[in-house]
Amino acid sequence: MKKLIFVTGGVCSSLGKGVAASSIGALMEARGLSVRMVKIDPYLNVDAGTMSPYQHGEVYVTDDGAETDLDLGNYGRYTNSPLSKANSITTGQVYQAVINKEREGRFLGRTVQVIPHITDEIKNRVLAPGKDPEVDITIIEIGGTVGDMESIPFLEAARQLINEMGRQNAISVHVTLVPAVSGGELKTKPTQHAVKELQEVGIQPDVLICRGTQPLEEGLKRKIAGFTNVEYEAVVSAHDVKTTIYEIPLLFHEQGLDTFLLKKMGIESRHADLRPWVEVVRKFQEPKSHIRIGVVGKYMDLHDAYKSVWEALYHGGIANEAAVEIVKIDSGRLEVDTADMKEIFADVDGILVPGGYGQRGSGGMVKAARYARENKVPYFGICLGLQIMVIETARNVVGWADADSTEFNPDSAHAVVSLLEDQVDVKTYGGTQRLGKSESRLKEGSLIRKLYGTESIWERHRHRYEVSNSYRADLEKAGLRISGLTPDDSLVEAVEWPDHPWGIGVQCHPEFKSRPTHPAPLFKSFIGACISSGRGARHGK
């Protein structure tokens, strides 16, 4: 029978449920099992697409164009689980679907209620990704904290599935907090209360993953087990790791979490093959070089706003056995006339401009791109970062001082970046976006084609504005190489600075497909170029 593992959180938010769920998925795959990952977000938004990065962090995009919670990015980095709209469930989606069915008369005049109609919809969505006959286990992370009003229907659906499928086939993993108080003493009371809250909704946890700064000693584990009706072997210490979050699957394995889960579910499996994760951690612990990457963006106050970019940079470091230090540079800081670009970028080995929306800070990004081009600093532009390269070339090489994007200046006389004609009258917010996986053709002889090793690539997109075809000839004449196009040659997908150590801009988001065990080609090459540039050596690193 198919197996389910529900991952919930107690005490407070931001305990790392997503990393815990992902690490469990990685361990199950290391045992030769096929997993599917599902994230439940209790908010009323249909998806994360219209949320500010300051509200919810990065918007992670799947191949089929779903705009989802950043935890799906964790799933993609730790596991081989295919990710699509089916892997992201929100309260908004569930209620919208049920209301639509009610309007269509699908309930035959019955009163529509949270139980059974909402919970049945949740259960159907939870089970859908695991219907593939090849799938062994579906891991479902329920967002929020147990006790929140918003989570109640999802916890009720989980309770029903556990009872219907049996405790051997549906497992509850609860992530809790064991804080250290004055003097460093670890306290178990918050965990005890968190388990009690979960029990009050009818779910007895099978496993407790206890977050804290320090490892749990045997006495504390036995105390927690005794007060929560959880087996001693199922109390897992999720203390802070020394190097990287990719060490967590190894931490869980050392404590026998995968062995316990398989025993609980009655699954026989092969010996865990964790060699790829061991190698990732080794490269983090034993870097051969150290480099600093200046990331010039708009949302620097919230670390999670560029989560996949940070991780992909680290993956590029793993591929080159280099320690990557990220220097966050607010693009607004560069817009002031007194900004000393040479001083700001003196200690960085490469510059990356990530995606973003809106005019704020765009001028600073243009100045960063100019500095990188003129001073031969490796530069990587992603989505908006490509458009910044185009604007910078138009202003400072072609000589159009007013060149801009219509997103920033609708009245620009040289709108080198703009909406397509068929997008202008679209009124639905988000309706003008190009979302999900699409094909790009890479020009022969270009650096990007050499890096991918193929003419055609499929990467994920999330953007609204495009490079204007009216100015393509002028830009190329000025030395900006257009190295990637859509198959019909109608849209620009990649540009390069030919006479430069490494200067590439892409309209796609390659960070979404990067993994620690399989770094994205562009990030791998970018980090390699930053090492080869020699700037790090000149700075005494």
| Tens-place pLDDT, residues 189-232 | 999 999 999 999 999 999 999 999 999 999 999 999 999 999 99
pLDDT value at position 537? Answer: 43
Q: Which of 383, 392, 466, 500 is catalytic?
A: 383
- Please indicate, yes or no, whether residues 295 and 341 belong to a single structural domain of this protein: yes
- Please indicate, yes or no, whether residues 214 and 312 belong to a single structural domain of this protein: no
Q: How many domains does the chain have?
A: 2
pLDDT value at position 423? Answer: 46
- Please indicate, yes or no, whether residues 344 and 260 belong to a single structural domain of this protein: no
Q: Which residues span the domain enclosing 371?
A: 287-538
- Please indicate, yes or no, whether residues 417 and 433 belong to a single structural domain of this protein: yes
- Residue 423, number of CB atoms within 10 A of its CB: 15
CATH code of the domain in which 120 resides: 3.40.50.300
CATH code of the domain in which 322 resides: 3.40.50.880
Using a CB cutoff of 8 Å and minimum separation of 24, what contacts does 412-421 make? Answer: 414/471, 415/468, 416/390, 416/391, 416/467, 416/468, 416/471, 416/475, 417/387, 417/390, 417/391, 417/465, 417/466, 417/467, 417/468, 418/465, 418/466, 418/468, 419/464, 419/465, 419/466, 420/466
- Please indicate, yes or no, whether residues 302 and 271 belong to a single structural domain of this protein: no
| One-letter identity of residue 426 | V
Say whether 367 sits in a helix, a strand or coil. helix
Q: Which of 29, 156, 511, 530 is catalytic?
A: 511
- Please indicate, yes or no, whether residues 210 and 248 belong to a single structural domain of this protein: yes
Model pTM score: 0.93
- Please indicate, yes or no, whether residues 236 and 348 belong to a single structural domain of this protein: no
As a whole number, mean pLDDT of residues 269-284 equals 94
- Please indicate, yes or no, whether residues 359 and 270 belong to a single structural domain of this protein: no
pLDDT at 389 over 70: yes
Q: Which of 315, 407, 509, 530 is catalytic?
A: 509
> Hey, which residues does 461 pair with through a beta bridge?
436
As a whole number, mean pLDDT of residues 132-151 equals 95
- Please indicate, yes or no, whether residues 248 and 99 belong to a single structural domain of this protein: yes
- Please indicate, yes or no, whether residues 177 and 223 belong to a single structural domain of this protein: yes
Active site residue 102: no
Let me know the angle formed at the C-alpha of 138 by 144 and 65, rounded to the nearest 5 degrees.
70
Among residues 279, 300, 318, the one where a domain terminates is 279
pLDDT interval class at 133 (50, 70, 90): very high
Among residues 220, 246, 279, the one where a domain terminates is 279
- Please indicate, yes or no, whether residues 202 and 242 belong to a single structural domain of this protein: yes
- Please indicate, yes or no, whether residues 334 and 474 belong to a single structural domain of this protein: yes
Active site residue 511: yes
pLDDT at 119 over 50: yes
Q: What is the pLDDT of residues 50-78, one digit of tens each?
A: 888 777 789 999 999 999 999 999 999 99
Active site residue 315: no
Report the residue count for the chain: 541
Among residues 279, 314, 335, the one where a domain terminates is 279
